[in-house]
A and B are shown apart, each in its own frame.
Chain A
Amino acid sequence: MRSWVNIYWLGRKELRSVLGDFILVLLIAYSFSVAIYAEATATSESVNNASVAIVDEDHSALSRAIANALFPPYFKVPEVISAREVDEAMDHDRFMFVIGIPPNFERDVRNGDQPSIQISIDATAVIQASLGNAYIQNIVTDEVNHYINRSDEETVYPVVLVQRRAFNPNGTGMWFGAFNSLLNQISMLTIILTGAALLREREHGTIEHLLVMPLTSFQIVMSKVWANGLIILVSFVLSTFFMVEGILDVPIAGSRMLLFGGTALYLLAAAAIGIFLGTVARSMAQFALLLLMVIVPIMLLSGGLTPIESQPEIIQPITWLLPSRHYMAFAQAVVFRGANISIVWPQMLTILGLGTVFFGASLMLFRRSISVSK
């Protein structure tokens, strides 16, 4: 009981010092508003504004129809270029796709000679290349069929496939982008805030002042974790209501309370990582480098940018250790799929478990670091 009272009062002190630092408050506010907005609105459909050129050696009604069928927002209005320009134009990234229509294409189609159309694809942008290719193939096939059939009637196949997108029927890319951004921000800010809080206290010598009082390391560390975690949690809640749901109009399918509860668990783990780095680092320079080593994998390998299941087998065990990976899975389930606790409890338990392990390790290290500090 006494212990928790101390943790409460120490944490309140922590809250005051962060909120009293104008620059920090400004950076936090920026991260949860402008940064989220920029990232969410930048993430568009998977294929967007793709640059296309057509080498039209046919100059027929059909080749023009194909060109006209490629239109924004998926594709930019195609440019017509000559065959000689293709290499140079693709080298300089002027076009991601170049469609080559051979001479006498329309005539050959009419005669049923099955003429070939070439699509040159810049395969250095992997995702866009494969999706764009599929789109272009569909468009070309549709236009050719349409031309042959002289009607809008679809070719009738014996079985019809109806594709439905669950959880995001229109495939609005911004939904995912908004949450991905929010999750990245809370990871980064929590780690920096708690780590820096510890380093700052050590630099100012106030940590020794705390240590000669009847306080334990656990109380000191715990107070930093809850206070900094709370700041981020409140920012998260505000950002969810006002930025994500409000301005960006992203719906949340599941329970908000569940989302916030899981976030609180995750913040415990993230703050523990912050304490860990703040303890290991001897100086701000070292802390900054360690921070990069942790935050870059968190941002890139937690399942926000690329799906976890596509990660190679060798990397999977490493990313399993990232609490952010489990949190990402949890948050996606709750926000987009409307999952309830009966579904997401394994992730929550994993986050809690990893958080406890990290917290325990940081605490142990922190105790040791005090005893060797000068």
Chain B
Amino acid sequence: MGMAEEAPLLASLKGITHRYNNVLAVDDVTLDIPTGMMIGLLGPDGVGKSTLLGLISGARKLQEGSLQVFGGDMAKASHRNMVGPRIAYLPQGLGKNLYSDLSVQENLDFFAKLFGQNSSERRTRIAKLTKATGLGPFLNRPAGKLSGGMKQKLGLCCSLIHDPDLLILDEPTTGVDPLSRRQFWDLIAKIRSERPVMSVIVSTAYMDEAEGFDWLVAMDAGNVLASGTPKELKSKTQTEDLESAFVALLPAEKRGNGTKLVIPALEDNQGEPAIVAKGITRRFGDFTAVSDVSFEIKAGEIFGFLGSNGCGKTTTMKMLTGLLPLSSGEAFLFGKPVDANDLQTRTRVGFMSQAFSLYGELTVEANLLLHARLFHLTPEKTEQRIHTLVERFGLKQQMHTKAEALPLGIRQRLSLAVAVIHEPEMLILDEPTSGVDPVARDVFWRLLVELSRKDKVTIFISTHFMNEAMRCDRISLMHAGKVLVYDEPQHLVEAKGASSLEEAFISYLKDAIGDNPDETQEKTSDSDELIVSEISGAGDPNKTKGDKANPSHFSFKRLFAYSYREIKEVMRDPVRLTFAFIGSALLLIVVAYGISLDVEDLSYAAFDNDQTPQSREYLSQFQGSHYFIERPEIHSEAELERRMQSNEITLALEIPSGFGRDLKKGETPSVSAWIDGANTTRASTIAGYVSGVHLSYIIQLATDVGIDASAAANVNIEPRYRYNPSFETIYSIGPKTPAMLLLLFPAILMAVSMAREKEIGTITNFFVTPTTRIEFLLGKQLPYIAIGMINFVTLTLLVVFLLQVPLKGSFIGLTLGAFFYVFAATGFGLLISTLTKSQVAAVFATSVFALLPTVMFSGMIQPTSTLEGGGFLIGTMWPATYYMHLSVAAFTKGLGLFDLMPDIYVLALFGPIFIIITALFLKKQEK
């Protein structure tokens, strides 16, 4: 065709190499990509397609080599900022960059705001896009509740909202039902015809889709195998279809043995069916995932489940394995009703779930051994089984490799080996081959056929590949929780008079949708409405262009777009909010009432060796004190020790024999007070009490003999307890407890929110939109500051009205301090979650790093000034110290705004410092 040579270049890659922790993902790729075309990146999972797309979009950081997109260097931030708004990127995974709690409308609104569109422009664009894609009637449905096909359409709308010149789609149709797939490509074709300047780069594992593209790049193991038009590739390899062309392009050792898989006919088996499902139904709340499904699977047959993601395949399989109870209906395995507690049946079934069900951190051998042990195979049997399976499944080379380091195809074989280690009579496989390259899939199917025909294992498998479905003895077509039909695949094709199973499936789907008015979404609007072209005329075009010209400038609009979105998300999870508010209120009450610093009710016992009226008089002084509670007398040294050891008494008073006699003689007898010294603070307090009681005894003694003891004192000491004259703990702990809660709750909520964004993948939107770091961080932070402030008000009210600690000082000062404090707390949460990878690690790290300084080093119990060493240092660098101080000053000391300012100034520093450090660590690109 020669088209590629003439066209100007969209992107130019030279020597691009990319590694993830030493695993090579892209290996020295040099490639020129022409502009204004529909370009396909072909190849199975894990060959480097996504990495390349991420690099071209600017979402991933370039490691090695040079990359030019739209004529500029993508290694330069200035160029990325400039071309960023011209590129739209839809990452892999259904709805991965969408916010599942937000509605269709809210998702679209959010993306439009990030590109600086005003409300009238947004309204026009959203209306046009949703009308054209058929999403119009579902504007208020949360994205998480859309079907796979609809999610992809929404993702597409979000990408198209700002008229990009380059649209990058990473496996947009994986796991989508054939009808939605077809509609999706029709939509793309329509958009391309309206806006020919727009280039589209698509990666896909479906070779049949690629037939319609303009230009293809076939990839394997981080390398480009070939590039050119589909025709060129086919003629180069002298093959008829792209799937064969791809296989022919692979290096010789990967091509497989080239023989076509022949499946021997199934011997007719009149025995008992292996699985019987009778009208099984599963509901989650008001959502029916599986509705009235019935089928029978014969022993020894390969039974396939064909359908899109979310159509109920997995749920059905889970019900049959006893993982999920049936809402209604009956299911039988080997003629017995499915029973979750029937361990015997489980040993007859092997299961391979959709999610990778091996332990990645274990080696191949360890995985096999673990499962052999859990099924209690004898050591000889284990050895023999592992030997056989390793031979048969070709795992010998990898015996000591960790499972997570294996290529996907081999990992799937290992999963199968693990599933059959105990020689089950039935195998349940949930999408075992998704993402696996065609050759590896073929190898996998050979094993399945062997298991079925040779070992007579019944196989129940789900898939979304049509050619795999054709290999099953019988298949059942599933859609939206219902089985449309089940029969031999050839019969289904014939019944619809279709040319292929895909055609037949689409035809069955159309029948089903026709019956169901709720599914009008599947019908793409046939109107001639323009989807993208000239939409830019909507609103004020100059303004839009103006925003686009300076995309890297700070924008409050984008900041608030993030805040607004975060607020919506928080509001949709009322459990979290309730926990945050009720939880902190409860903790305030328990802690403030529970911590009592008044040492009272101390149990003591006397060890009176004298037993005279004098000794009893001495002891009577203690009986009268409200600090002490008397326990039965001690009779021996051993008893004294034992009772103190068991904490039954914390004080023992030992009076020596001869006490009374010595006292009368004026020989100054001595009394011993044994104080439990384990808790040193308590011990000091007790020591003070004991001295006090002793002193009052002495005075009593003097008064008894007629001496005015008070006259003997040389000085009168008048202690004055300021701020807290009644000397009650609550006036100290009451104001301090909210300080603890206002740090811990906002920090942990913030940390989880950020970590979640990273784990789920919505952080990609920050990478690929013109959002700056500060907009992103502050935007996410604002709602949590608001939550913190609401919490502050509730806790303050509780302190004043429930704990009865009056706020004597400046409320404005306290509020101002609380604002900066909550700002600091959320800033800390952001910092921790930016440094950690997973939610678990974020929660772990936030608790470990925040609890200790807040509870121990901030003056909660022990004033910071009395701390020493590292603890003192940490205390002075921790915001809680200053807020506790401020809170006590405002509540109990009754200080005014002016006097509170020093603490407020210090508190105001923490937030910005945390945010600046976070911004330094937060990368605008993925690694």
**Is B800 an interface position by the 8 A CB rule?**
no
B596 touching A35, Cβ below 8 Å: no
Find chain A residues with CB under 8 A from B644 CB.
166-167, 337
Tell whether, in the assembled complex, residue A141 and residue B717 are in contact, meaning their CB atoms are under 8 Å apart: yes
A123-B723, A301-B595 known; A205+B357 contact, CB < 8 A: yes
- A168-B683, A213-B374 given; A128·B724 CB < 8 A: no
Whether A159 contacts B594 by the Cβ 8 Å rule is no
The answer to whether A44 and B866 touch across the interface, beta carbons within 8 angstroms, is yes
- The CA of A56 and the CA of B843, in the complex, are separated in Å by 54
Q: Is A118 an interface residue (CB 8 A)?
A: yes
Q: Which residues of A contact B375 (CB under 8 A)?
A: 213-214
Do the beta carbons of A168 and B691 come within 8 Å of each other?
no
What does the 1/0 interface line of A198-215 toward B look like (CB < 8 Å)? 011000111011011111
Q: Is the CB of A339 within 8 A of B646?
A: yes
Chain A residues near B544 (CB-CB < 8 A): none
The interface-forming segment of B6-14, B34-42, B169-177, B740-748 is B740-748
Number of A-B contacts (CB under 8 A): 443
Residues from 1 to 38 in A contacting B, C-beta threshold 8 Å:
2, 5-6, 9-10, 13, 16-17, 20, 23-24, 27, 30-31, 35, 37-38
**Can you list, as one digit per residue, whether each of B286-328 has a CB less than 8 Å from chain A (1) or not (0)?**
0000000000000000000000000000000010011111000
| Complex contact A123–B722 (CB within 8 A) | yes
B residues less than 8 Å from A169 (CB atoms): 677
Whether A159 contacts B748 by the Cβ 8 Å rule is: no
- Decide: A318 near B590, CB < 8 A? Known: A39-B852, A171-B683, A282-B575: yes
Q: Which residues of chain B have C-beta atoms less than 8 A from A208's C-beta?
A: 318, 323, 353, 355, 357
Of B60-68, B192-200, B340-348, B815-823, which stretch is located at the interface? B340-348
Q: Which residues of B contact A10 (CB under 8 A)?
A: 374
- Output the residue of A196, A338, A344 with the most chain B CB within 10 A: A196
Q: Which residues of chain A are near B349, meaning CB under 8 Å? A: 212
Residue of chain A at shortest CB distance from B576? A285
Please give me the residue from chain B that is nearest to A293 by CB atom.
Answer: B583
Q: Which of B727-763 contact A (CB under 8 A)?
A: 727, 729, 731-732, 740, 744-745, 748-749, 751-753, 755-756
Q: How far is the CB of B894 from chain A (nearest CB, A)?
A: 9
B870 at the interface (CB under 8 A from A): yes
Partner of B727, one of A123, A140, A282: A123
In the complex, how many residues of chain B place their beta carbon closer than 8 angstroms to a beta carbon of chain A? 151
A165 nearest CB across to chain B (Å): 3
A356 contacts B by Cβ under 8 Å: no
Contact with B along A88-109 (1 / 0, CB 8 A): 0011110010000000000001
A50 interface residue, CB < 8 Å from B? yes
Does B671 reach chain A (CB closer than 8 Å)? yes
Q: Are B680 and A176 in contact (CB under 8 A)?
A: yes
Residue of B whose beta carbon sits closest to that of A332? B678
Nearest-neighbour CB distance to chain A for B586, whole angstroms, equals 7
Q: Of B666, B701, B716, B855, which contacts A115 at CB under 8 A?
A: B716
Nearest residue, chain A, Cβ from B853: A38
Closest Cβ neighbor of B751 among chain A residues:
A288
Cβ of B50 to closest chain A Cβ, rounded Å: 20
Tell whether, in the assembled complex, residue A289 and residue B870 are in contact, meaning their CB atoms are under 8 Å apart: no
Is B732 in contact with A125, judged by CB distance below 8 angstroms?
yes
Q: Does A120 contact B (CB under 8 A)?
A: yes
Is A257 on the interface with B (CB-CB < 8 A)?
no
Closest to B371 in A: A213
Interface residues on A, range: 35 or more
Q: How far is the CB of B923 from chain A (nearest CB, A)?
A: 18
> Does A61 make an interface contact (CB < 8 A)?
no
Residue of B318, B698, B837, B863 most packed against chain A (CB within 10 A): B863
Contact of A296 among B597, B740, B895 (CB under 8 A): B740
Q: Which residues of A contact B618 (CB under 8 A)?
A: 159
- Chain B residue numbers with a CB within 8 Å of A166 are 644, 674-677
A151 interfacial contact with B, CB 8 Å: no
A235 CB–B CB distance under 8 Å: no
Are B678 and A124 closer than 8 Å at their CB atoms? Answer: no
A297 adjacent to B587 (CB under 8 Å): yes
Q: Determine the chain B residues whose CB is within 8 A of the CB of A172 once the complex forms.
A: 680
Docked complex: B585-619 residues within 8 A CB-CB of A: 586-587, 590-591, 593-603, 618
Closest residue to B684 on the A side, CB-wise?
A46
Q: B590 touching A371 by the CB < 8 A rule? A: no
A310 CA to B870 CA, complexed, in Å: 30
Segment at the A interface, from B126-134, B451-459, B885-893:
B885-893
User: What CA separation (Å) do A51 and B865 show in the bound complex?
Assistant: 8
A24 with B603: CB separation less than 8 A: no
Q: Contact between B716 and A131 (Cβ–Cβ < 8 Å)? A: no
A145 touches B714 (CB 8 A): yes
Q: Which of A5, A209, A306, A329 contacts B351 (CB 8 A)?
A: A209
Over the window 264-293 of chain A, the binary record of Cβ atoms lying under 8 Å from chain B Cβ atoms (1 yes, 0 no) is 000000000000000000111111111111
Residues of B within 8 A of A43 (CB): 856, 862, 867, 871
Residues from chain A with Cβ under 8 Å of B340 in the complex:
371
Other than the given A120-B720, A123-B732, 5 more pairs (CB < 8 A) read A39-B856, A42-B856, A126-B598, A206-B359, A284-B755
Subset of 8 A-B contacts with CB under 8 Å: A46-B684, A50-B866, A116-B717, A121-B722, A173-B681, A211-B323, A288-B847, A333-B645
Q: Top 10 nearest A-B pairs by Cβ distance?
A: A42-B871, A205-B355, A165-B677, A168-B677, A123-B724, A336-B678, A284-B839, A209-B357, A123-B721, A160-B670
